[in-house]
């Protein structure tokens, strides 16, 4: 019996294709909007987590100032010095490595090609704190670090623009007024979490950068690696106490430095993107409610149009439950069809949006199944009242209907 009812429902839908399409349009828009928003939200969250992970796990970033900028209208707080780096490494429990950094910008030149890039002066501890694979070559030797040799490890952007993507290890190029020997090339990382190209970089021994470029021993940034067995919060508190003591900050005065925990940044950004995803998905879900109302409205019109047909069926022996089931199945088929079309449309929109947004393509089977199930439930909920109305018609009155 169910097979016959299903065929009757399909036949009725095919009889009015345009009306059926307009009926399911609300469901199509609702399902596609919800699936697209949730999937793109999850993809954005994954991209943020990947970008934060590129900064290193269990890493504390220590900068002078009270924020990313100067932190006010006063004078710039003093930078750190090499003794601060040594003190942190030796006096704070749970610290695995400390990577000091001194940065500047300069133009790199090789055989007529030139490229403006960032120079990052640091030590081999940099590669221990936030692992960055090399595609070729090696890191610095202790002698190169101690003597401040002009040895360079370059990012893929610099390699592509100076060496046309070809082999760079063993070659020499000029950056600023320094001739630099390429000893290694870095794997591609892509865009940074706050913008900028992570691969547009030349890494040199910090002493080389301080002597040949900045002209001082200042350390602008320190990356502090934390042992996984220790709490980053505890290490951060110890680090704060040590730096306040070394920088002679008396009680009651604010810190003239800031410490960022990459895990806390990741958790905060992830929570924010997930919250925004839920809000947008909730707004998009309103379209499903509108689609359900549209199905109920069209089904009521259909009941009115087919009153004589219903009367004939009831007069020749059909029971009320069979009539109810026919119209209910028709509503469910319509809503499920809208769900399928919505899922297909969602995947198409996701495929277009992910490259534009720079996030990875993802397929979340759970949200797709939930969205389809909701579309089916909407067919049951909003199709029951018209079906019940059709089943409750009096056969005599229905046959008299014009």
pLDDT value of residue 260: 85
pLDDT of residue 238: 92
Q: What is the rounded distance in angstroms from the CA atom of residue 319 to the CA atom of residue 218?
A: 90
| Residue 103 structure tokens | 């940065």
Q: Which residues pair with 205 in a beta bridge?
A: 122
State residue 23's pLDDT score.
75
Q: What is the torsion angle, in degrees rounded to the nearest 10, for the CA atoms of residue 63, residue 67, residue 71 and residue 77?
A: -10
- For residue 80, the 8-state DSSP code is B
Cα separation, 338 vs 329, in Å, equals: 14
In this predicted structure, what is the pLDDT of residue 107? Answer: 93
> Tokens 């910008």 correspond to what residue?
105
C-alpha separations of 107 from 114, 160, 363, 394 in Å: 7, 15, 43, 88
SS (H, E, C) 182-239: EEEEECCCCECCCCCECCCEEEEEHHHHHHHHHCCCCECEEEEEECCCCCHHHHHHHH
Q: What pLDDT, on a 0 to 100 scale, did the predictor assign at position 311?
A: 67
Contact 174, 109 (CB under 8 A): yes
Integer Cα distance of 17 and 126 in angstroms: 65
Q: How far apart are CA 331 and CA 24, in angstroms?
A: 10
Q: What is the DSSP string of 242-297?
A: HHHHHTT--TTSPPSEEEEEHHHHHHHHHHHHHHHHHHHHHHHHHHHHHHHHHHHH
List of residues 6+ apart from 336 with CB closer than 8 A: 372, 375, 376, 379
Find, among 261, 206, 230, 237, the residue nearest to 79 by Cα. 206
The first and second tokens of residue 23, run together, are 């009926």
Q: Mind giving me the DSSP string for 7-19?
A: HHHHHHHHHTHHH
**How do beta strands 178-186 and 151-154 pair?**
parallel
What are the backbone dihedrals phi and psi of residue 181, each rounded to the nearest 5 degrees, phi first? Answer: -95, 125
| Number of residues that make up the chain | 402
* Mean pLDDT per 10-residue segment, the chain (402 residues): 65 71 79 85 77 70 70 68 92 92 92 91 91 91 92 93 88 92 90 70 94 90 90 89 90 88 73 77 74 74 65 66 73 84 90 82 84 82 74 60 52
**Per residue in 280-306, is it b (16+ CB within 10 Å) or e — as a string?**
bbeebbebbeebbebbbebbeebbeeb
Dist. CA 1–CA 323, nearest whole Å:
12
Give the separation between CA 299 and CA 210, rounded to whole angstroms. Answer: 78
Please give the Cα distance from 337 to 79 (Å, whole number).
64
How high is the pLDDT of residue 87? 93
Query: Is 175 in contact with 205 (CB distance < 8 Å)?
Result: no
Cβ atoms of 190 and 201 within 8 Å: the answer is no
pLDDT value at residue 331:
80
């Amino acid at each position: 019996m169910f097979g016959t009812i299903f065929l009757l429902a399909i036949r009725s839908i095919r009889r009015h294709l345009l009306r059926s399409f307009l009926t399911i349009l609300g469901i199509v828009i609702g399902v596609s909007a919800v699936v697209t928003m949730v999937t793109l939200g999850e993809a954005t969250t994954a991209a943020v987590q990947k970008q934060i992970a590129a900064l290193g796990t269990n890493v504390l970033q220590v900068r002078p100032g009270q924020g990313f900028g100067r932190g006010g209208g006063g004078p710039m707080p003093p930078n750190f010095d090499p003794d601060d780096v040594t003190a942190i490494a030796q006096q704070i429990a749970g610290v695995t490595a400390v990577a000091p950094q001194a940065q500047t910008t300069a133009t790199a030149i090789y055989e007529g090609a030139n490229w403006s890039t960032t120079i990052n002066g640091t030590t081999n501890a940099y590669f221990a704190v936030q692992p960055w694979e090399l595609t070729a070559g090696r890191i610095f030797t202790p002698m190169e670090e101690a003597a401040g040799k002009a040895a360079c490890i370059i990012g893929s952007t610099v390699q592509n623009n100076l060496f046309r993507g070809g082999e760079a290890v063993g070659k020499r190029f000029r950056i600023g007024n320094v001739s630099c020997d390429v000893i290694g090339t870095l794997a591609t990382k892509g865009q940074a979490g706050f913008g900028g190209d992570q691969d547009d970089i030349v890494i040199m021994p910090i002493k080389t950068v301080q002597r040949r470029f900045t002209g001082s021993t200042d350390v602008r940034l320190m990356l502090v690696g934390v042992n996984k067995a220790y709490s980053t919060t505890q290490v951060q508190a110890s680090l704060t106490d040590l730096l306040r003591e070394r920088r002679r900050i008396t009680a009651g005065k604010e810190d003239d430095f800031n410490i960022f925990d990459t895990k806390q940044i990741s958790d905060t950004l992830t929570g924010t993107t997930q919250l925004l995803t839920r809000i947008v998905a909730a707004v998009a879900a309103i379209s499903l409610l509108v689609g359900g109302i549209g199905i109920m409205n069209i089904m009521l019109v259909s009941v009115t149009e087919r009153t004589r047909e219903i009367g004939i069926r009831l007069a020749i022996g059909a029971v009320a439950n069979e009539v109810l089931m026919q119209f209910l199945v028709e509503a469910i088929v319509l809503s499920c069809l809208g769900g399928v079309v919505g899922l297909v449309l969602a995947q198409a929109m996701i495929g277009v949006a992910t490259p534009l947004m720079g996030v990875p393509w993802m397929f979340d089977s759970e949200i797709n199944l939930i969205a389809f199930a909701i579309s089916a439930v909407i067919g049951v909920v909003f199709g029951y009242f018209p079906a019940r109305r059709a089943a409750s018609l009096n056969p005599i009155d229905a046959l008299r209907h014009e």
